Amino acid sequence: MPDACVELLRGADLVLHAGDFVSAAFLEELRSLGPRVEGVHGNMDEPALKEALPKQHVVEFDGVRIGMVHDAGPRVGREARLAARFEDCEAVVYGHTHVPQAERFQHLWVLNPGSPTDRRRQPVHSMLVLRLRGRRITPELVTL
């Protein structure tokens, strides 16, 4: 992980990971940084992680509900599917595509951090920082 990513994670109150930890060793490394880590398993995760982590998860933090899923399905209609799937959440974090997204759709923030380690076809490595003020979420895309 880039140093800037590690620094932001260490200062966080909560870390949300949208899958593809790949190994249980990396999950433990992430947990060793200090903040609580919540996550879902991804398609690249080893079998032990797929058994230990849920496919879909809802995290509540300071009264805000955030849904999590790795693969949000095809691009067309993605936001509407996520809004229906997580109708009682203020936000949903998904992974898989490595394409950053921070967009409001109906009642929901639809969030994809990109990736701090595998940018694929994206020009930069990235992650999201979410700031909560009451029930208001302010996402910030951080390039690394």
Give per-residue pLDDT as tens, 5-49.
Answer: 999 999 999 999 999 999 999 999 999 999 999 999 999 999 999
Give the total residue count for the chain: 144
pLDDT of 100 > 90? The answer is yes
What is the structure's pLDDT at 49?
96
Give the model confidence (pLDDT) of 50-60 as tens digits. Answer: 999 999 999 99
- Which residues does 53 contact at the CB level (< 8 Å), separation at least 6? 19, 21, 39, 40, 41, 45
User: What's the rounded Cα separation, in Å, for the pair 124 and 134?
Assistant: 31
Contact 53, 45 (CB under 8 A): yes
Q: Which of 48, 102, 51, 95 is nearest to 73 (CA)?
A: 95
Q: For residue 121, what pLDDT band results from cuts at 50, 70 and 90?
A: confident
User: What's the rounded Cα separation, in Å, for the pair 86 and 68?
Assistant: 9
Q: For residue 120, what pLDDT band results from cuts at 50, 70 and 90?
A: confident
Q: For residue 102, what pLDDT band results from cuts at 50, 70 and 90?
A: very high
Q: Supply the DSSP string of 75-99, one letter for each residue.
A: STTHHHHHHHHTTT-SEEEE-SS--
What is the structure's pLDDT at 118?
87
The pTM of the whole model exceeds 0.85:
yes
What is the structure's pLDDT at 51?
96
